[in-house]
Amino acid sequence: MLSTGRTVTISPFSGRMDISPQGKGQLDFYVTITKQDILLSMANLVRLHQALFPPSKTIMESLYHRGFDDTIKFLLKESWFEYNA
């Protein structure tokens, strides 16, 4: 973290980061790993499995596009980007 300005936090797991997949756990329970609050959910367990055992190219491309969309949503929300699709 920088002493001035804002640090944007990014994670491939659902949690309390600026850019991450949206997810809902049944109990809304978070675990802290490397100073990041990560939602304990089945979707995050699937993401962990995919991180350890990469899926097919088609699924990887889908994950890439979802991450891109999550980033665009964040930048638009913060008014840091104008997007004209």
Q: What is the pLDDT at residue 27?
A: 74
Query: What digits encode the pLDDT tens for the residues 39-62?
Result: 999 999 999 999 999 999 999 999
- Secondary element (H or E) of residue 47: helix 42-52
Residue 30: what residue type?
Answer: Y
pLDDT along the chain (85 residues), means of 10: 78 93 79 90 93 96 95 91 75
Residue pair 37/15 in contact (Cβ under 8 Å)? The answer is yes
The Cα–Cα gap between 65 and 16 comes to 21
